Structure 1
């Protein structure tokens, strides 16, 4: 009889959003007339930019012609035209990332989970709490020791390193999901110094970098000196360009990032990641990579920025409503997420039930992101403007 990986038995029985879906579906079955506004899952709602769609169509047409047909992509890292486009995008905000350090993926979530394959299971992993569940779950699936750095109201939900704590891997997300907080240059300098002191590697999720507006908040960790020696960065086009239904992103493993093996030899993590992906990842389809490359053209950036501004305006609408109601929150400025403190000392799931049952609005209970999320709640700006306004009008009818 085969043995199972019993680390899976230690996980929460259901993924957070499955639990939410069950509650919402049960409510809809009992109240079919309810007009439910969903502000929970961070899925985009606007269509993909027209120039991006045209590029994908062209790529698909090329697959139907012998002279331009594409089979396996030789490098396994993504077509070079896309890697160069991503490198150029970094340069547009002052960061030098060579195309050779970039690998194309099918979204940041997959690589955030799969990157653990190149690290031993004896590593201690430090994750800020609250956290995107993938960081925690994928490491617990391997049986690793997971410890937490507290993000809370006191520190603006931006946990900082504690020199008395030792670790090997560090997960950071900025702008943060779920809290919407974002690390400044100076704060990231501290994390980089801490990683060097511990000989640790930072796994940096920058999926929401396109929403950054503050000049003191870097769009990439590589904007900070020394980061290439300690950090792997992952980004996704899901939120930047609406690719949640197309799946494409990129991971940067700098050639400067070197660790020591047990025999004392130096190993480039880029080589290990390339070997892992070559064995276990089929790559991203050619038409989708053509579409992704179009995102980084002048017209593509213009059109996708229009969508981002639309979502930013939704965030502003939510924030202004919370200000009017006197409800504390973080996020909404450099992030599409608004992280609010549940009124009246309510628990996260208690507030979820209240919104669902009283005003038919769905959000995400903060408790699903870790212990420091209890008593907090996430709303997303990735909705329709009119529905966002309607949801906020409904919120104003509640008495807290």
Structure 2
């Protein structure tokens, strides 16, 4: 039996008596610390602190680093300035997705690339196979722990933990490096995966526990709680943020998944461009849609979706929304049935239950104005 990998914060979990860990892609990670509903609500109302140190980090350096990454990804890396981050995807030649990722421009010849934990080896090999001259690719995943502080009070909590104003005022998808928190030199990014405001903090692995404890202690009066994978999944689902292996995969293109905004078909050539141009011109065969159950039942991942006797697709993610208290799902279905208001059926435990195609995202954070 393969031994599960653990993050640098794993030794601290035992100090939290309600923690429950699971095998998540070969990692022993907390599904919750005090309960998914409580942690979900904390992120929507105050803040939650996530250990996402299982994510992978690559450093891409060299004179042609920008050209290389622009060839490998769907978004336009050339639009980044120093201190900016970008959500993007890597595709196979047929348009299927290798992975979705974040690219951070540190300088013109130095980029940090952050990938999904389950895809670290695959992504590294894919990038290495396509390396061009004067580009160095290094897997630095073991050097970093990654904490995600998410929620409407994230700014106040990071301020209480000692962050300076230049970090607290970062615009979305911007970052600062060499930020000292609890004695550790970190990279702080205004990014996240919950649909709320917040920060992701890259910490040297050996100092992760110190920073984790400092943020929890500083944020305790403001209601911060440690949060696990369960809440992370329900939060990203309500905000319609895709999860690789469910909404994105080698057989699902970015256009079908509804993240075409991050595919710049008018930029220079990139792997998968021809297939995606062709798919756009010919029309999408499938679309990712939102479902709300009309009949009783919760639409779970892989449940079949029908229009009459015709199977038209399947649910990719579904649950009872902790925020909205409605039974909702995302489903990849034949495009001809994707219009809002269309009534379809989801097969739940052998019985077909009615559902309606509804607008997504299901949840949007409240404006501060």
Q: Same fold (TM over 0.5)?
A: no
Whose RCO is larger (CA < 8 A, sep 6+)? 1
TM norm structure 2: 0.32
Query: What is the TM-score with the length of structure 1 in the denominator?
Result: 0.30
More helix by share: 1
